[in-house]
Structure 1
Amino acid sequence: MTSPYPAAPFLENPYILDLFAGPGGLDVAAHMLAVPSLGIEWDRNACETRYAAGLPTWHADVSAVRRERFHELPKDLTVLAGGPPCQTYSVAGNGAGRKALKEVERFIRALVDGIDDTVIDKQLEELNGDPRTALVLEPLRYAIKALTCPNRDGRPFDVIVLEQVPGVKALWDVYAEVLTAGLPGKDGERVRYAVAKVSTLRTEAYGVPQTRRRTILMARLSEHGVPELPTPTHRTYKPLGPEQSGSAGAKGAAEADQIALPVGETETPLRPWVSMGEVLKVTNDRPQGRETPFTIVSNYGSGGDPKKRGMRADDQPAFTVTGKVSRNAVRRGDGTPHSPDRLTIPEAGILQTFPPDYPWSGGDQSQQVGNAVPPLFGMHVLAAALALPLPSEEKLRENWPEVGDEERASLRKEGCGAPDGCGPNCPQPGGQFSSSGSSGSSRPRTGVSAKRSEK
C-alpha cells in the first residue's frame, strides 16, 4: 500500500511515551513504524501481555510517575501519546465523566494558569464521581511537567497524540485551545502547539474490520507546522437499519455499498471496508480459522442500546470490540452454534488488528483486548502525526517477534524492579485504574457485576 502521507519526517529520532498503555495497541503500531516506545501501565495483567510481547513497560501509576519519578523517564522522549480510561465518558459507562465535564474543563484551565499541583490534587480529591474522570488531565500535566523538569532542560514534547471515545471531544477541544495558546514554560514563556481539528474518526475507514469511533487530538510544536489527520483508505460502513440480520437482502445491499469509487482525479479510490470473514476465515495460513458463513450475535446493544442485541454476518465488519467480546455468540448460517460458539481471545485480537500470534497473557484478557487501540488505526494516526510513510501490507502480515524468557525477565526487571515479580514502585491493588478500567481480580465490584458474582 502506498502511503498517503508525505515522507518528510521532521523528527530525527522519534521516541514515544505511551500513557495508559494497555496491552500494547499503540506500541504495536509504533513497532510497525520502526519507532521505539515506552509504555506506562497500571494493570498487572496488561503488563504481563506487554512483557510477553517484548514491549518496554513501566508497571506504574501514571499519576505517581508524574509526581515522583518523572525525572527518571528517558530524556530523549519526543512524543506524548495515550488514551486515558474512557469508561466514565463512554455511552456504556456510568456517565460520571460526562457530568463532570465542566469541572474538568476548569481544571484544564487552572493547570495552564500555573496553579500549584498540590492545590489541583486537593480539589480533584473533592470531585464527586468516578476517580478515573480526573485521569484525562494526566497528558496535559505531563506536557507541562516536561517544560520544568531539570532532566529535560525545559525541552517540550514535539508531538502530542491523544485518543478517546467521542464523549470526550469537548475536553479535547479545550486541550486544543490551551495548547494553541501555549503551555507555561520557563521564565514565563509560552510553548505553543499547532493543533489539527479535533475529529472523531471511524476505524473501518483505515482497514480495521470493526466499526469503532475514536476522537483524536493531534498536535505538534508550532515550529513543526500543523499536522494533518490521517487520510481514510477504506470506505465507511453504513448500517442499513437498527439491526444487521445478515439476511440475503442486507448482504446484497452491503456488497453494493462496497464499490470502491474514486474520490478525485488525483486521489486513490477508497478500498472496500474489511469484513470479519476476510480476517477470521480458514486460509492456508490460518487452518484454525472460521468456516463461513457465520453470524456474530453481540452481547452489546445495536446502536449503543444494551437492550437490543445486534447481529452481523461474516461479510460485514464486526461490532465495536469491547471488554465483553468473549460473550459474543457465533452462529452458523442456519442459526446453530458455531464451534467454538464464542469469539476466542486471538480472534478478538485479530478484529482489533493485533497480529494473530500476539502473546496475550495474564488475566482478564477480554478486557485487555476490548480496550486497546486497534494497532492498524494507531499506525495511521502516528504516521500522520509524525509524517512517516506507512509500511507495506506484507509488513503488516508478519508474525509478531518471539520473545525469549531472558528478554522477558529483563523487561520485567526494568518495568517492575524485579525479574520475577513486582517491586516497590509497582502499584498496589485498589490504588488506581488501568487503561482498561480494571484493577485486576482484587478490584471490588459493585452493582450488577457484584450481584452476578455472588450467584
Structure 2
Amino acid sequence: MGTYEHVDLFAGAGGLGLAARGLGVPGVGIEWDKNACATRQAAGLATQKGDVRDFSPSDFPSANVLVGGPPCMVYSDAGAGAARRALTDTLDLMQRMARREDVTARLVQLDDVRQHLVLEPLRWALDSIDSGRPYEAVVLAQVSPVLPIWEVMGDVLSANGYSVACGLLRAEEYGVPQTRRFAVLIARRRGTAALPKATHQWFRKTRSPVPGDPVLPPCVTMGEVLDRPEPFIVVSNYGSSGDPRARGRRTSRQPAPAVTAKIFRCRVITDDDAAQDRLSASEAGQLQSFPADYPWQGHDKGQQIGNATPPLLATHILAAALDLAVQPTRPTETMPVPSR
C-alpha cells in the first residue's frame, strides 16, 4: 500500500503510537490530558495537545492513516435505560453524518461528551473522503462495549469505498499478559481488510483441548513479565459476576485480569496470604505490554495505563491493516531510544 504516516485521535499515553513507531509508521497523536501528554513527550512520541474536535484532516495533510480509541460510554450497562437510549442516539447521528447532514446543533445538546467524541473518527474519515484525499486505512480500538458503534461505522465506510473488518479480539491471544476484550475496526481503501490472526492461546481457567484448535503457544503470564518472586497472586479490585465480595484472583502462572484505571487497588499476595508490594506503574504498564522502563509521568498513572490500547495488540492490528510484518511476539522489555 505504500508509505504511511498516521494521525492518532485520543492518543493517550501512547499505546497505538508506540506500536506505530515500532512498525516504522511515523505520525502524531492528538491528546488533551496534560499528564498523558507529558508521558508521550518523555517517550519521544510526537504530540499535538488539544481537543480532537478542534482539528480536522487538513491540519495533518501528510497523514494517510487514521487511528484512534475514543473514550466511550458503556452502552450496555443500562439495558433499556439511559445507556440504551444513548446508543440509539449515537447510531442515528452516525447515519445522519453518513448522509452528510449537519448534526452540529444536535451534538451540542448531548448530555455526555463521550457520546460526541466517539463520533469524531467518523467525522475525520468522511471529511477526508469529501476532500478527495481519503485515508488509506482507518484503525480503531476500544473496549468491547463499543462494538455496535464500530459495526455501523464500518457500514458507512464500506458504502464509501472501504473494505472493512470489525470484531472482538482477546488481548491475551496476541501475547499481552492480561485478559481483556477489545472491539477493533480495520478499514482499507485497497485490498481486503481482515483482523489479525491470534498468536497465542485463548485463556480459560478450565480449558480442555478441543479438536481442531490451532496449535499456538500458551498465553503469556504475569510471572513471565514481572520481576517478582513466584508464586504470587493478584487479587482484583472488582468482584466476579457482579459480586464485590467475590474478588477475582489470578496466579502468577496466569495472565492478569483486565488492567483498568483502578489497577493500583489490586492486592498482591503470596500463596499463604502474606501481603506483597502492590503493583508499580512500571509493572501495571508491563501487564498492558508497555516496556518496563516506559516513562510514565504526572498524576493519574493508573488512568493513563488503564485507558491505553496494549501496544502489542495494537502492533498486530496495525500490521494487519497495513500489510506489515510483525517481529515481536512478546512484550518489549526496554524502551527503544527515541530519535530526537
TM-score category (smaller protein): over 0.9
Q: Which residue of 2 aligns with 1:144?
A: 126
How much has 1:401 moved relative to structure 2?
3.1
**Secondary structure at 1:114's aligned position in 2?**
coil
Counterpart-to-counterpart distance in 2, 1:352 and 1:90: 24
Aligned pairs for 1:18-33 within 5 A: 18-33=8-23
Counterpart of 2:40, as a letter, is R
How much has 1:90 moved relative to structure 2?
7.0
The reply on whether 1:203 has 2:171 as its aligned counterpart is: yes
Counterpart-to-counterpart distance in 1, 2:116 and 2:312: 28
For the 8 Å contact 1:88–1:133, the answer to whether it is kept is no
For the 8 Å contact 1:195–1:226, the answer to whether it is kept is yes
Aligned CA-pair RMSD? 2.2
How much has 1:169 moved relative to structure 2?
1.5
Counterpart-to-counterpart distance in 2, 1:204 and 1:98: 29
Counterpart-to-counterpart distance in 2, 1:291 and 1:171: 43
How much has 1:82 moved relative to structure 2?
0.7
Q: Which residue of 2 aligns with 1:297?
A: 235
Counterpart of 2:137, as a letter, is V
For the 8 Å contact 2:75–2:87, the answer to whether it is kept is no
The reply on whether 1:380 has 2:316 as its aligned counterpart is: yes
The reply on whether 1:99 has 2:85 as its aligned counterpart is: yes
Counterpart of 1:219, as a letter, is A
| Percent of residue pairs bearing the same amino acid type | 46
Q: Which residue of 2 aligns with 1:45?
A: 35
Question: 1:302-329, CA deviations, whole angstroms, 9 ceiling, x for partnerless residues?
Answer: 2465553111111111000000101100
Question: 1:285-344, CA deviations, whole angstroms, 9 ceiling, x for partnerless residues?
Answer: xxxx21111101110222465553111111111000000101100001110101x1x111
Q: Which residue of 2 aligns with 1:77?
A: 63
For the 8 Å contact 2:174–2:329, the answer to whether it is kept is no
For the 8 Å contact 2:259–2:306, the answer to whether it is kept is yes
Aligned pairs for 1:302-317 within 5 A: 302-303=240-241, 306=244, 308-317=246-255
Counterpart-to-counterpart distance in 2, 1:90 and 1:39: 29
Counterpart of 2:116, as a letter, is A
Counterpart-to-counterpart distance in 2, 1:225 and 1:213: 26
Counterpart-to-counterpart distance in 2, 1:14 and 1:172: 23
Q: Which residue of 2 aligns with 1:193?
A: 162
Q: Which residue of 2 aligns with 1:172?
A: 150
**Secondary structure at 1:299's aligned position in 2?**
strand
**Secondary structure at 1:209's aligned position in 2?**
coil
How much has 1:89 moved relative to structure 2?
3.6
Count of aligned pairs between the two proteins: 338
For the 8 Å contact 1:261–1:270, the answer to whether it is kept is no
Question: 1:243-276, CA deviations, whole angstroms, 9 ceiling, x for partnerless residues?
Answer: xxxxxxxxxxx7xx5x798746xxxx21101111
Q: Which residue of 1 aligns with 2:97?
A: 111
Counterpart-to-counterpart distance in 2, 1:87 and 1:371: 13
Counterpart of 1:195, as a letter, is V
**Secondary structure at 1:104's aligned position in 2?**
helix
Counterpart-to-counterpart distance in 2, 1:164 and 1:71: 25
Counterpart-to-counterpart distance in 1, 2:112 and 2:39: 27
For the 8 Å contact 2:240–2:248, the answer to whether it is kept is yes
The reply on whether 1:321 has 2:259 as its aligned counterpart is: yes
For 1:362, which of 288, 293, 298 is the aligned residue?
Answer: 298
Q: Which residue of 1 aligns with 2:225?
A: 279
How much has 1:156 moved relative to structure 2?
0.4
Question: 1:145-204, CA deviations, whole angstroms, 9 ceiling, x for partnerless residues?
Answer: 22345xxxx21001011112222221211111111112xxxxxxxxx11112x2111111
Structure 1: any 5+ residue segments left out of the alignment? 1-9, 183-191, 241-253, 281-288, 408-455
Aligned pairs for 1:55-454 within 5 A: 55-66=45-56, 70-73=57-60, 75-89=61-75, 97-116=83-102, 120-127=103-110, 129-149=111-131, 154-182=132-160, 192-196=161-165, 198-221=166-189, 224-240=190-206, 263=213, 269-280=215-226, 289-303=227-241, 306=244, 308-338=246-276, 340=277, 342-392=278-328, 397=332, 399-402=334-337, 407=340
- Higher percent of residues as strand: 2
How much has 1:393 moved relative to structure 2?
5.0
CA spacing shift, 1:305–1:162, aligned 2, 3 Å: farther
Counterpart of 2:164, as a letter, is V
Question: 1:110-166, CA deviations, whole angstroms, 9 ceiling, x for partnerless residues?
Answer: 1111112xxx12112223x322112110000001122345xxxx2100101111222
Return the index of the structure with the highest Cα Rg.
1
**Secondary structure at 1:310's aligned position in 2?**
strand
Counterpart-to-counterpart distance in 2, 1:214 and 1:276: 20
CA spacing shift, 1:322–1:31, aligned 2, 3 Å: same
For the 8 Å contact 1:97–1:133, the answer to whether it is kept is no
Counterpart-to-counterpart distance in 1, 2:242 and 2:127: 38
For the 8 Å contact 1:51–1:57, the answer to whether it is kept is yes
Structure 2: any 5+ residue segments left out of the alignment? none
How much has 1:392 moved relative to structure 2?
3.9
Q: Which moved more, 1:50-59 or 1:298-307?
A: 298-307
Counterpart-to-counterpart distance in 1, 2:64 and 2:82: 33
Counterpart-to-counterpart distance in 1, 2:28 and 2:324: 19
Counterpart of 1:31, as a letter, is R
How much has 1:213 moved relative to structure 2?
0.2
